[in-house]
Structure 1
Amino acid sequence: MGHHNLRTVVRFEFLRTLKKKSFWITTLIVPVAIGIVFSLVSFSGASASKSVSAQQRAPISFAYLDESGLISDKLGKESGGTRVTDLQAAIDAVRTGSSDAFIYVPRSPAHDKVQVYGKDLGLFESGKYSAVATRMLAVAVKEKVNNPELTALAAGKVSFTETMFKDGKTSGGIYAVIAPLAFLGLFYLVILFLGNQILNSTVEEKENRVTEIVLTSVNPTSLIVGKILAILATGAVQMLTLGVPVAAGFMLLRGYAGIPDISLAALIPEPSAMMVGALVLAGGFILFAGALVALGSVMPTAKDANGMFGAIVITMFVPLYAVPLILSDPGSPVVKVFTYFPFSAPVTALLRNGLGSLSGGEAAVVIAELFILGAAAIALAVKLFRHGSIHYTSRVSLKSVLTKP
């Protein structure tokens, strides 16, 4: 009978959620928003690049004083410049408006700043003076060196191929951490998307005054576990809705629109890292889901429950402030605390797992901790819901529930 009730609860909650327009609006608006933002950023980047290139090629009339001897008369003239000898007179000419711009190149431009004076043409257009000065100096250096290879090396235009080894095998390097770190992104998405829904899952029955009726036909444990499983199923639908377009876009646009052309073979991580990531993700979800359901069980209204959701979310983001320490010293006491403290453990462990600094022993402890505490949180949520089902207008006293048999 209990298993039958569990299936009924899962099916009912899952289908009820999928039938809500708000669910699909929330789910679909994210990939649409990501697509719009990506398009805008790509367009803005292309426009900015064209703007800088146009500024560098823009024909302008200016005066220049070159004490470095780098700029030849021919180069200065081709760039639109007129050589002058009086520094202060040239600056005054720009100030009074009789000259559009003046560029002063000091004796050692590598150590002293090149000074640019010009007529204010607005925040973006005024940048063309410095762009022309930069291009003119770059051409002057190329002419002096007269060696394209040395010029490219001096400018830092050097290509590398990197091959890293781990345990005698070629490792994926930076790309190998992408898949394990994807579990961290999934954890944030699941909690942020579904956390509020989990929190309010038990409050709806209390607000609708149907809790006693529900409990007469459904075991409290089956009800709570069924709600969590149904929400997890709806979360899987959301993840697929988000993940499939992203994966398809990556496959189709690799090497275009600023998306790196990464080999899929380079993205294949170690199986152990993927297994640890999946288990930590599952354990973290169970813990947070149990805690959220327990909080929802003691709250009389959804408004009161939503106020507690922010406190839970904060614990997820606190470990991000320790990212520099996690990267530089993963064995420090602070990182250890974040790794084993229940509500910061999922984020910290997933981050360290992706970066390769989480040992097998630490992973085993964290996974066991998350599943044990998650089960305890669900058991507490069941008890709180059973005793708090009739408290429609007041919060349930945790002390009074725990003292009851």
Structure 2
Amino acid sequence: MRRHALREVLTFEVRRTLTKKRFWLSTLLVPGLIVVVFAISIASGSSSDAASQERSNAQFSFEYVDPAQLIDPALAQAAGGTAVDDAENAIERVESGAVTAFFAYPADPATQAIEVYGVNEGIFGNGKYAAAASSLLKASATERVGSPQLTSIIQGATATHTTTFEDGRVAGGIESVIPPMLYVMLLYIVIVLMGNQMLTATVEEKENRVTEMILTTIRAKTLLVGKVISLFVIGFVQMLVFAIPIGVGYVFFRDKVNIPDVDFAALEFQPRPMIIGALLLLGSFSLFTATLVAIVSSHLVSYVRARGEGLGVSVRDGWLGRPERVVILGLTVALSPAIAALQEPLSAHPM
């Protein structure tokens, strides 16, 4: 009978929660935001690459001044540029529309900015002028050095990959620490969304299920155990809902997500840390669920007993069935003489 009642309670609680629209709205909110962030990141990355490629391929006529003689004339002519001596006259020609753009290269580009003037082509179209001016200067510097590799080294465009060893094995770096930390994020998300569900699952029974508990064979202990197990099941469902879009995004779109200084393709999923993280997630969620339900249900059980006795129903579990009540009763009896001794002087000298 007890197993049958526990199964009925578990089935009822899980079905009741999973059929609520509010539950799915709150559960799908976070995965939906994750999908939106991934979509925006992928779209922005694609549009940025396309815009950068379009700007680099854009051809237009321009004039430039180069007092430091850093610009290669052949490269400038191939890009559509013409060297001039009068900067003021060149700016006026841009204002009148006779020339599309004018670049005023400084004497020291390392400390001074390149002044760029051009015909307005909108917020997004005007970026091609600065891109063309910078590209021409970099190309001229590379041509003068004579080696693109040396130019990249001078500009600091070098990458390093560090491998460390521990006990004869390759030790995981920061790339192996990030994946287990996802369990922490998952735990906090589930706790935030499940906290209200845990409280509602027990507190609402004062109004909805008291009569059923008294008039049927379902004991309070069976009901609460079924609720705890149902909360585990519901929490596991939420974890799956959160983990599935993250896993799909990592497997299929990790190379397309454009987040600065984060390389998802370099993450390392080591079995031992991932298993330990999963066990810690399960243990932490179990501890939180059991503690919260125990605190709330202790008031519920007392309320049910009081209602049952008020209706003339005999309650089988007395105060001996609650060990904490035995401890509290023992402490009360032991401390009652001291409490009475303290009350006498206080009553003799009222404040």
Deviation at 1:201, TM superposition (A): 1.8
Matched, 1:380 2:331: no
- Conservation of the 8 A alpha-carbon contact between 1:152 and 1:158: yes
- Give the Cα–Cα distance (whole angstroms) in 1 for the partners of residues 44 and 167 of structure 2: 44
Does the C-alpha gap of structure 1 residues 100 and 388 become closer, same or farther in structure 2, counting only changes over 3 Å?
A: farther
Does the C-alpha gap of structure 1 residues 108 and 177 become closer, same or farther in structure 2, counting only changes over 3 Å?
A: same
TM-score, scaled relative to structure 2: 0.73
Deviation at 1:13, TM superposition (A): 0.7
Q: Map Cα deviations across residues 111-146 of structure 1 (whole Å, 9 max, x no partner).
A: 211111223322111111101011111110111011
Deviation at 1:280, TM superposition (A): 4.3
1:325 corresponding residue in structure 2: none
Does the C-alpha gap of structure 1 residues 78 and 112 become closer, same or farther in structure 2, counting only changes over 3 Å?
A: same
- Give the Cα–Cα distance (whole angstroms) in 1 for the partners of residues 255 and 95 of structure 2: 48
Q: Map Cα deviations across residues 229-276 of structure 1 (whole Å, 9 max, x no partner).
A: 21220221232244345435544556566684447xx310545x743x
AA at the equivalent of 1:210? N
Deviation at 1:36, TM superposition (A): 4.7
Deviation at 1:385, TM superposition (A): 2.4
Does the C-alpha gap of structure 1 residues 49 and 249 become closer, same or farther in structure 2, counting only changes over 3 Å?
A: closer
What runs of 5+ residues in structure 2 fail to find an aligned partner? Answer: 308-324, 330-351
Deviation at 1:6, TM superposition (A): 4.1
Task: Name the larger-Rg structure.
Answer: 2
Deviation at 1:71, TM superposition (A): 0.7
1:121 corresponding residue in structure 2: 121
Corresponding residue SS for 2:103: strand
Corresponding residue SS for 1:112: coil
Does the C-alpha gap of structure 1 residues 65 and 163 become closer, same or farther in structure 2, counting only changes over 3 Å?
A: same
Identical residues among aligned pairs (%)? 36
2:133 corresponding residue in structure 1: 133
AA at the equivalent of 2:211? I
Deviation at 1:387, TM superposition (A): 4.7
- Conservation of the 8 A alpha-carbon contact between 1:179 and 1:269: no
What runs of 5+ residues in structure 1 fail to find an aligned partner? Answer: 291-373, 392-401
- Conservation of the 8 A alpha-carbon contact between 1:179 and 1:274: no
Does the C-alpha gap of structure 1 residues 225 and 120 become closer, same or farther in structure 2, counting only changes over 3 Å?
A: farther
**What is the correspondence of 1:207-218 to structure 2 with a 5 Å cutoff?**
209-216=207-214, 217=216, 218=218
1:64 corresponding residue in structure 2: 64
TM-score, scaled relative to structure 1: 0.64
- Give the Cα–Cα distance (whole angstroms) in 2 for the partners of residues 256 and 117 of structure 1: 35
**What is the correspondence of 1:181-260 to structure 2 with a 5 Å cutoff?**
181-206=181-206, 209-216=207-214, 217=216, 218-252=218-252, 255=255, 260=264
1:106 corresponding residue in structure 2: 106
Structure 1 stretch 150-159 or stretch 68-77: which is displaced more?
150-159
- Give the Cα–Cα distance (whole angstroms) in 1 for the partners of residues 144 and 75 of structure 2: 12
Corresponding residue SS for 1:117: strand
Deviation at 1:84, TM superposition (A): 1.6
- Give the Cα–Cα distance (whole angstroms) in 2 for the partners of residues 387 and 19 of structure 1: 30
- Conservation of the 8 A alpha-carbon contact between 1:172 and 1:267: no
1:267 corresponding residue in structure 2: 269
2:177 corresponding residue in structure 1: 177
- Aligned pair count reads 303
- Give the Cα–Cα distance (whole angstroms) in 2 for the partners of residues 243 and 254 of structure 1: 15
Deviation at 1:31, TM superposition (A): 4.4
Matched, 1:89 2:89: yes
Deviation at 1:109, TM superposition (A): 0.4
AA at the equivalent of 1:145? V
Does the C-alpha gap of structure 1 residues 43 and 138 become closer, same or farther in structure 2, counting only changes over 3 Å?
A: same
Q: Map Cα deviations across residues 193-242 of structure 1 (whole Å, 9 max, x no partner).
A: 32232232234434xx3242144254444434432321220221232244
